[in-house]
Amino acid sequence: MLSVRLRRAAKRWHRTYRETRLVARALRSPNHPILAHVVVTRRCNLACTYCNEFDDFSKPVPTDEMMRRIDKLAALGTTVITLTGGETLLHPDIEKIVAHIRHHSIVAFQVTNGYLLTIDKIKTLNRAGLDHMQISVDNVKPDAVSKKSLKVLDQKLQWLAKYAEFRVSIHSVLGACTKNDEDALTVARRATELGLISTAGIVHDSAGQLKPLNAEQRKIIEQIEGLSRGRFSPVSHNPWRKNLINGLPNEWDCGAGGRHLYICENGLVHWCMAQRGHPAIPLAQYTREDLIREAAIKKDCAPYCTVFCIQRLAVIDEVRANPKQALERFFPPQEAEGKPAPIPFPIRALSSLLAPKEGGSRKRVLEKAALRILKVD
């Protein structure tokens, strides 16, 4: 058990270094994808009634084709790949795919419903170098809508808490399906008790647009957020979330198609899971020009978009373009005290070192040293 703890700690430091490096790279250059979601199979072993992301017959994407897609994403400069589905654990070579992502020094992230997890599978994913796993848990007990239930998955969560050397987050979506909204809080508390991360999303329609939360749901989401208060990661900060929780629109530029790519099972590039069909160009033919053109398109779906992972990428781009204004916008005065919110150290350090375009010779030396340590070109 001690060796699991030591390996976990070593991997946590290495992961933090690589995540800092990816933020540094994104602050230096606007023309590479920061994150790509890649479908490994459309097939799922469950059939949640709210889901339009699955079928019960598709074959997995052939492994050699998956390797080619990852090579192409690496050539475009992608820094994080999230494997998604359908159900990712149905792919017979999921570990090889994870190892291939890591071979390119890309951060490897996997989304799963957790049903097929075993202790052996967790250990193989450790060896493959998985960085992060996200499991969605919809309710406490299975119902007609979803079987992704704490009652069924609790044993798997315990195995993850004991054996996983990667980061594990348990995700609940408020308003997704359960009749009892309190279930999301029960799930989040159990995740925290096991030492796992708990996150909460907001239900959206099939186009990624907000479905407003009621007062009770807003209270629950605040309580879930309170469970992870004090834990900050430069890749998880989302200043637009609060407006959405309150049913308000946001003004932001979505860089999907450039900063984020969604690769479907047929190997086509789409803006995101919710906006499939734009631009639907084969990944094998996707070019730097495609990235720049698609990222710059103004997306009508942006104001009420709830795709948080893509909004976070836009935070980095705003800091890169206008560090001072962006930091003031993202860390506004705290409501009660009227003082600016403290800017977390990683954000302060990276933005003052890398984002501003001007500076004296001392700053240029520090900038050069930071880039060398982070191995950013």
Q: Give the residues lining the site for ligand SF4 (CB under 6 A).
A: 44, 46-48, 51, 53-54, 85-87, 113, 148, 208, 254, 256, 271-272, 274-275, 299, 301-302, 305, 307, 310
Nearer of residues 51 and 370 to ligand SF4, judged by Cβ: 51
CB of 287 to ligand SF4, least distance (A): 20
DSSP string for residues in 209-260:
BB----HHHHHHHHHHHHHTTT---TTT--TTHHHHHTT--------BTTTE
DSSP 191: H
DSSP 321: H
Tell me the C-alpha to C-alpha distance, in Å, between residue 118 and each of 2, 89, 115, 163. 21, 11, 9, 10
CB of 47 to ligand SF4, least distance (A): 5
Nearer of residues 263 and 374 to ligand SF4, judged by Cβ: 263
Nearer of residues 153 and 353 to ligand SF4, judged by Cβ: 153
How many whole angstroms from its chain centre is CA 366? 30
CB of 180 to ligand SF4, least distance (A): 18
Nearer of residues 34 and 274 to ligand SF4, judged by Cβ: 274
Neighbours of 143 (CB within 10 A): 16
Nearer of residues 53 and 367 to ligand SF4, judged by Cβ: 53
Tell me the C-alpha to C-alpha distance, in Å, between residue 355 and each of 24, 117, 250, 323, 374. 9, 42, 24, 6, 15
User: Which residues are paired to 172 by β-bridges?
Assistant: 200
Nearer of residues 55 and 193 to ligand SF4, judged by Cβ: 55
CB of 52 to ligand SF4, least distance (A): 8
Half-sphere exposure of 190 (CA within 13 A, CB side): 22
CB of 299 to ligand SF4, least distance (A): 4
CB of 124 to ligand SF4, least distance (A): 21
Nearer of residues 149 and 275 to ligand SF4, judged by Cβ: 275
Tell me the C-alpha to C-alpha distance, in Å, between residue 102 and each of 39, 88, 95, 176. 17, 17, 11, 33
Phi first, then psi: what are they for 376, rounded to 5°?
-105, 130
CB of 53 to ligand SF4, least distance (A): 5
3-class secondary structure, 207: coil
CB of 342 to ligand SF4, least distance (A): 29
Q: Which residue bears the tokens 């190997």? A: 267
DSSP string for residues in 281-315:
EEGGG--HHHHHHHHHSPPTTSTTB--HHHHHHHH
Nearer of residues 279 and 356 to ligand SF4, judged by Cβ: 279
User: How many Å apart are CA 112 and CA 41, to the nearest integer?
Assistant: 12
